Amino acid sequence: MATSFKIGYAFEPNKKTFITDAIVDKSKQRGIDLIKIDTDKPLAEQGPFDCILQRLSNEIRIKQLEEYSSLNPDVLIIDPPSKIEVLHDRYSMLHCVEDMMKMNGQENEIGMPTFGIPKQVLVKDVHSLMNVNAEGGLKLRFPLIAKPEMVDGSMQSHELSLVYNLNALKKVHTPVVLQEFVNHGGVMFKVYVVGEYVKCVKRNSLPDISEEQLDLEKNPVPFSQVSNKQSQEHSDHMSNEEMRIEDAVMPPDSLVTCIAKGLREATGLHLMNFDLIRDSRISNHYLVLDINYAPGYEKMPSYESVLADFFCDLRKRKRKVKFYSLFRQMLCCG
């Protein structure tokens, strides 16, 4: 009987895991053993593992994982903490998209889809806030999306808000990433990446904002309030909202695949998703808004099978590396 491929998975105790019983069973049927790692015990006392799937944020546990990896270099780490780190900073995470744009040149034929990122700026302190759209300043246009700079897993780091005008901007907490809000028809495209697998799905998004609305709110408005207000206003017309999402044209597969491939290569990560919108101002132009590591895959269609396939790909990859390593040793000895 063939030896099973052992994948240990380590998640913080207070964080939800996407490794469900269904995934464990489906993987086991294909010769993959998913083993929960006890994060309160030394990693060296557990295993052995062929691969470790991790979503750790505790510094002590991360250091333990890195020490284990240095002593066991043949164990695949999905994904190394050092590579995930770039997605913890909301400002720098989109730099890889800019790098892709430079490499591609964005010199596509007329009518071909293009992509980019919204205009954004990092504001470190309160005194710099008023320079955001002041004369001679950075001149971002309202409305703006205000995002805490760092993604650290706390509730505060996920508190995004809409800023309609200067009065509201004065009340934004720093450090903050300010991003121009772009009308996009109230539909967002969420793209899941699992290894080389890419899946794009439609999601409801914030509604378009008119010039007339910019003077209505004097405070930053949390996304949750915008969403709740939208739901209340359209509670009797939910079918219209569903129809809008249904009627939205999906971005071309070639574009989605191109962006996903570029992000994989730029970050070195296997598990992520990114948010994509179609810019209402420019025909066939898309914007990458956000990139998340190892998101809630349970919302992705057929996610159990997709993850099981990914684990099998990891096994194949490791066997290939092992084969070539043995082959080189034979050549050296010969």
183 known member of a binding site = yes
Any residues with CB less than 8 A from the CB of 174 and at least 6 apart, and which? Answer: 123, 124, 125, 126, 128, 129
Residue 327 annotated in ligand binding: no
Annotated binding-site residue? 186: yes
> Is 147 known to sit in a ligand binding site?
yes
- Is residue 139 marked as binding? no
Distance (Å, whole) CA 123 – CA 138 = 11
Answer yes or no: is 8 a known binding residue. no
261 is in an annotated binding site: no
CA distances from 164 to 23, 67, 70, 168, 275 (A): 44, 48, 50, 7, 22
CA distances, 176 to each of 1, 23, 117, 152, 295 (Å)? 56, 38, 17, 14, 23
Question: Is 90 annotated as a binding-site member?
Answer: yes
- The side-by-side arrangement of strands in the sheet containing 5-11 is 32-36, 5-11, 51-55, 76-78
21 is in an annotated binding site: no
Report the C-alpha gap between 169 and 163 in whole angstroms: 6
Q: Is 270 annotated in some ligand binding site?
A: no
- Cβ neighbors of 123 (< 8 A, separation 6 or more) are 129, 132, 172, 174, 175, 176, 177, 178
**According to the annotation, is 182 in a ligand binding site?**
yes
Say whether 229 counts as a known binding-site residue: no
The torsion of the CA quartet 214, 215, 217, 222, rounded to 10 degrees, works out to 10
227 known ligand binder: no
187 is in an annotated binding site: yes
Instruction: Answer yes or no: is 101 a known binding residue.
Output: no
Asked whether residue 179 is marked as a ligand-binding residue, the answer is yes
272 near 295, Cβ under 8 Å?
yes
Per the annotation, does 185 bind a ligand? Answer: yes
Q: Residue 74, annotated ligand binder?
A: no
Helical spans, DSSP H, in 181-284: 223-233, 238-247, 253-267
Is 198 within any annotated ligand binding site?
no
Binding residues for Mg(2+): 275, 290, 292
Which residue ranges are tagged as binding site for 1D-myo-inositol 1,3,4-trisphosphate?
15, 147, 158, 190, 292, 296
* Known binding residues for ATP: 90, 179-190, 205
Q: Binding site, residues?
A: 15, 90, 147, 158, 179-190, 205, 275, 290, 292, 296
